[in-house]
Chain A
Amino acid sequence: MGEIVLSVKGLKTYFYTKSGVVPAVDGLDLELERGETLGIVGESGCGKSTAALSIMGLIPSTEGRVEQGEILFKGRNLVTLPRVEMRKIRGREISMVFQEPMTSLNPVLTIGRQVAEVFVVHRGLNQREALKETIKMLSLVGLPMPELRLREYSHQLSGGMRQRVMIAMALACKPDVLIADEPTSALDVTVQAQILQLINELKERLGTAIILITHDLGVVAEAAEKVLVMYAGKAVEYSDVNGIFDNPEHPYTKGLLASIPGHKKHGQRLDVMEGSTPNPGDHSGGCRFYPRCRYARGICRTSEPELFDLGGGHLCACHFV
């Protein structure tokens, strides 16, 4: 087993809205080894992005906060870290790529300025040195004619190019951990493959560990080594990628895999999971997946299953495995 760079224990992130408390992440555990890619999958609203923002310390303080648990990064608990210290980690040691490259880049600042800023803030370079480094970084992410791009704005780039800029920005300081939140969801299929390949290549080159958040199991199969399946704010299954795809144990994971179109022959009906993700906070003690589970029994309603090691590091939270 490799060295663990990031470990999350019992993370609870709650949002406070007018209609009550929303436990978006409700007791999440995960571990990330140096240089590995962990895919986090789950439906919209299962708390994937909230978990990522919690790690980054970017939960807007007016809306919610990390209520419980710890996020250990190289021996330090990020939850209790002073803001100034957290700022030094953010963008340098842990960085993030967001889903929508169009809106994630500032429309009124040049690409050069936005990437160079990272070098100025974290490495104390002056403007000229920072721009030099920016050109290197932009060519590393495969942006053609990087010198010209410096003076361009995000609206002058294509979607794939914008995401490359975002990746350049995130990897500028060679972080230990990169969190990629749906990095390919807003892109064309051909561009998706290129971006995934780029992320994989850079991971090899820089030794960065990656948390890849997605709802697309295809992306996970292609890029991840370990997979964490999330449901309603908690992890329900965790394994290496083969374990998840070959021997899914949790009924939810099985359901997800069965609803991938590629698994069926042409003309056959696609399996669907009945119901929809519960609203966070509706949960009342039992298994969170119980209302939608076809194997559910009495115990599922009353007692919440914990993650259980099935051997070989394959964890699953279900009473019947």
Chain B
Amino acid sequence: MEAFYGRRSVLTNYVFRRLLAVIPVIVGVIAVVFILTSIVPGDPARLMVGQRGDPATIQKLREDLGLNRPLWQQFIDFFKGVVTLDLGRSYRTRMPVIQAIAERLPITARLALASMALAVTSGVTLGMVAALKQNSMLDYGSMIAALIGISAPSFWVGIMLVVLFCVQLRWIPGTGTGDGSWIYLVLPALTLGMRPAALIARLTRSGMLEVLGQDYIRTARSKGLTEKAVIIGHALKNAMIPVITVVGTGMAEMLGGAIVVEKLFSLPGVGRLGIEAILNRDFAIIRGQVLFMALIFVVTNLLVDLSYPLFDPRIKYGRTWRRE
């Protein structure tokens, strides 16, 4: 690894600084989330008790949840909680927020990984084929498919897939997690991975076309390499640099919870946890979930930045935060 990053201390230093930079981001996120959840109409206590609950019960509940105290005090409590990794308990189930997220995370993570694996393999393959057969029917076909992939809304695609594979063909038993087997992951992963796949296909194609015109590709050919060795060995790595960024941000978005897809396929993931919390005015969960999403984004971005030198040795981390 040292060969890629230069001296190790430089790398450690860089990671440390990037992690420090997370703090203001998180503070900002906490403030915004707190303010937003405080100004939305709807009293969680009243919602929990139901419309016909008597005022005394509601009052009692408000005291239990700490909702009767001044807003600034609630904010400070919340902030202290975050620092000590205690995000409070769900207003509804009384389950610790961290536990609620942790319970839902594996499903979301599996879905995200499956979708991204699908997106990268199909996207890169499609993009490469399109670039190598530029202006052929294969190229046009791939790019039209990519255009559809980017434009078609996931709720529609998801429903169509269910109709086709579950209802008509009966290849896949149904939605939900079933017995936990991978077959239940296929349709949600297809639906969720379609957009990044299309994006990756387009980026790979344009990256590949640019790289194939470079002098070093001519050099590689002049050495007597086979076309396969030229493309896989010399062109692909250069063309992948823009793709990593898409993979990184896509992964962050998916890990934060794929709300539409999880809802559509009845997968109890982080995204569904969030949407349920919003419907129930379960502010503790909402705050926790948004905070979690922010954290995932920051960490994924850091990982993406750290992976650049593996693909492009010209990128190094020096004293400044900017890439040199």
- Which range holds the interface residue count of chain A? 20 to 34
B216 touches A90 (CB 8 A): no
A108 touches B312 (CB 8 A): yes
Q: Which residues of B contact A100 (CB under 8 A)?
A: 215
B238 within 8 A of A: yes
Segment with Cβ contacts to B, from A91-99, A192-200, A281-289, A291-299: A91-99
Q: How far is the CB of A173 from chain B (nearest CB, A)?
A: 9
Q: Which residues of A contact B220 (CB under 8 A)?
A: 106
Which listed residue (B134, B223, B229) contacts A95, Cβ 8 A? B223
B214 within 8 A of A: yes
Q: Which residues of B contact A107 (CB under 8 A)?
A: 216, 238, 312-314
| Chain B positions 61 through 79: 1 when the CB is less than 8 Å from some CB of chain A, otherwise 0 | 0000000000000000000
Q: How far is the CB of B158 from chain A (nearest CB, A)?
A: 38
Q: Which residues of A contact B219 (CB under 8 A)?
A: 98, 104-106, 166, 169
A122 touches B224 (CB 8 A): yes
A121 touches B215 (CB 8 A): no
A109 within 8 A of B: yes
Q: How far is the CA of A100 from the CA of B226 in the complex (A)?
A: 23
Q: How far is the CA of A303 from the CA of B216 in the complex (A)?
A: 42
In the complex, residue of chain A having the shortest beta-carbon distance to the beta carbon of B219: A104
B221 within 8 A of A: yes
Q: How far is the CB of B279 from chain A (nearest CB, A)?
A: 49
Q: How far is the CB of A165 from chain B (nearest CB, A)?
A: 11
B224 touches A92 (CB 8 A): yes
A98 touches B314 (CB 8 A): no
Q: How far is the CB of A113 from chain B (nearest CB, A)?
A: 9
In the complex, residue of chain B having the shortest beta-carbon distance to the beta carbon of A151: B3
| Chain B positions 203 through 217: 1 when the CB is less than 8 Å from some CB of chain A, otherwise 0 | 000000000001110
B223 touches A91 (CB 8 A): yes
A70 within 8 A of B: no
A153 within 8 A of B: yes
Q: How far is the CB of B210 from chain A (nearest CB, A)?
A: 13
B222 touches A96 (CB 8 A): yes
Q: Which residues of A contact B36 (CB under 8 A)?
A: none
Q: How far is the CA of A103 from the CA of B312 in the complex (A)?
A: 15
Which listed residue (B214, B224, B237, B313) contacts A88, Cβ 8 A? B224
Q: How far is the CA of A170 from the CA of B223 in the complex (A)?
A: 7
Which listed residue (B3, B218, B222, B313) contacts A91, Cβ 8 A? B222
B226 touches A106 (CB 8 A): no
B313 touches A153 (CB 8 A): yes
A87 within 8 A of B: yes
Q: Which residues of A contact B234 (CB under 8 A)?
A: 106, 109
Q: Which residues of A contact B224 (CB under 8 A)?
A: 87-92, 118, 121-122
A58 touches B237 (CB 8 A): no
Which listed residue (A91, A108, A166) contacts B238, Cβ 8 A? A108
Q: How far is the CA of A153 from the CA of B310 in the complex (A)?
A: 13
Q: How far is the CA of A121 from the CA of B227 in the complex (A)?
A: 13
A249 within 8 A of B: no
Which chain B residues in 144-200 approach chain A with CB under 8 Å? none
Q: How far is the CA of A236 from the CA of B134 in the complex (A)?
A: 39
Q: How far is the CA of A89 from the CA of B221 in the complex (A)?
A: 12
Q: How far is the CB of B217 from chain A (nearest CB, A)?
A: 8
Q: How far is the CB of B242 from chain A (nearest CB, A)?
A: 13
B225 within 8 A of A: yes
Which listed residue (A62, A89, A95, A103) contacts B215, Cβ 8 A? A103
A56 within 8 A of B: yes
Which listed residue (A95, A103, A105, A155) contacts B222, Cβ 8 A? A95
Q: How far is the CB of A271 from chain B (nearest CB, A)?
A: 34
B311 within 8 A of A: yes
Q: Which residues of A contact B223 (CB under 8 A)?
A: 90-91, 95, 117-118, 121, 169
9 A-B pairs closest in CB distance: A91-B224, A91-B223, A90-B224, A103-B215, A106-B216, A153-B313, A104-B215, A96-B222, A104-B219
B residues with CB within 8 A of A: 3, 134, 214-216, 218-226, 229, 233-234, 237-238, 311-314
Cross-chain pairs A/B with CB under 8 angstroms, 5 sampled: A90-B224, A92-B224, A107-B312, A107-B313, A109-B237
Query: Can you add 13 more A-B contacts, CB < 8 Å, to A107-B314, A109-B234, A118-B223?
Result: A56-B222, A88-B224, A90-B222, A91-B223, A98-B218, A106-B234, A106-B238, A107-B313, A109-B237, A117-B233, A121-B224, A153-B313, A155-B313
A residues with CB within 8 A of B: 56, 58, 62, 87-92, 95-96, 98, 100, 103-109, 117-118, 121-122, 151, 153, 155, 166, 169-170
